[in-house]
A = this chain, B = another copy of it.
Amino acid sequence: MVIVMRSGATEQEIQEIVDLLHKTGLEAHVSRGEFRTVIGVIGDDELVLQVPFQAYPAVERVIPIMKPFKLASREFQDEPTVIRVGDVQLGGGTFVVIAGPCSVETEEQVVESARIAKRAGAKLFRGGAFKPRTSPYSFQGLGEEGLRLLARAREETGLPVVTEVLDVRDVDLVYRYADVLQVGARNMQNFLMLKELGKQDKPVLLKRGMSATVEEWLMAAEYILKEGNRKVVLCERGIKTFETGTRNTLDISSVPAVKNLSHLPVVVDPSHATGVSELVPPLCLAALAAGADGVMVEMHPRPREALCDGSQSLDPESFEAMMKEVTRLASYMGKV
């Protein structure tokens, strides 16, 4: 940590900070410039975090030097984390397509979706039983019945199931049915839910919050890792910006940025990022080329009858066409 003193800070004010550092068990390196004095702080980060330096009027700024996450960092673990879900390997050089409808509606719809997904080469099946909806008047999902239907789809196709835990009280319930527990963008900083998920032994797919920086996203992963669950998959799904042509803005740079900072696998969800089904296929290819470990896409056997997000769902034909391109490019890139 570096503490920048205000211009005009007196010797006494500088000394007060140095004394405070020493008292806390930290080391202080003072650099006196013409206009500003800067204090380099050396020592245990957790000690550093506890001192509210900025409450001292003579302190202008406090600049953290260390990344605030540890277990999620490449410095803690350099080799990529590889997560196994049944036969599927996430991370470590594969490219996995997770596909399925936005929400579970009927047995027929969910089983048909899973079959289409499987046939086209998807490795995991997704579908929402609990739906976070902006409006209380919109369809909110089938709940446990939806989970049962997802399990049916798994029986039929063998595809492991990814589904969202919307409420911390449902962790156990969802655990019983799902293979991968998804944290939605709105829950990325639901820290108590993250802690619960950190106690589970199934993988967690952690969506990036709509207003979360990459660093905050990795801090959210840290909450899960810290509790002992090391199977975290990150999912970029677009951030809020002023652009209105797409629902959110897919931050493709976050893929190589995360790869530089962390060992965790990262997948991309272009369906939620854009809300426009036509943009999904080129963005899946872009995600693959940028180094992502997979994509998660919405597909519906009959988008015109979808109860949720029909306009961002691929129909079976477009989905299959996309899968061909993705599979070919992945194989060309040696990511299978």
Q: Does residue A169 face the partner (Cβ distance < 8 Å to B)? A: yes
Taking CB atoms and an 8 Å cut-off, the chain A residues in 259-315 that contact chain B are 260, 270, 273-274, 276, 278-279, 282-283, 285-291, 303-307, 309-311, 313
CB-CB contacts of A226-251 with B at 8 A, as 1s and 0s?
10000000000001111111100111
Contact A283–B290 (Cβ < 8 Å):
yes
Chain B residues with Cβ under 8 A from A285's Cβ? Answer: 289-290
Contact B239–A256 (Cβ < 8 Å):
no
Contact of A75 among B7, B209, B313 (CB under 8 A): B7
This protein's copies in its complex: 4
Contact B42–A134 (Cβ < 8 Å):
no
Contact of A252 among B38, B42, B213, B283 (CB under 8 A): B283
Interface size on A, residues (CB 8 A): 103
* Stretch of A81-89, A111-119, A135-143 lying at the B interface: A135-143
Using A40-B40, A278-B256 as known contacts, say yes or no to A311 and B55 having CB atoms under 8 A apart: yes
Contact A52–B279 (Cβ < 8 Å):
no
Contact of A304 among B55, B138, B216 (CB under 8 A): B55
Judged by DSSP, the binding face of A is: mixed
Cα of A45 to Cα of B34 in the assembled complex, Å: 10
Cα of A318 to Cα of B270 in the assembled complex, Å: 29
Chain B residues with Cβ under 8 A from A155's Cβ? Answer: none
Question: From A259, which residue of chain B is reached at the shortest CB distance?
Answer: B282
Question: From A209, which residue of chain B is reached at the shortest CB distance?
Answer: B211
CB-CB contacts of A45-72 with B at 8 A, as 1s and 0s?
1100110101110000011011011000
Q: A132-B189, A140-B191 are in contact. List 11 more A-B contacts (CB 8 A).
A: A36-B66, A54-B311, A55-B306, A63-B63, A68-B135, A241-B249, A242-B242, A245-B253, A250-B252, A250-B253, A289-B289
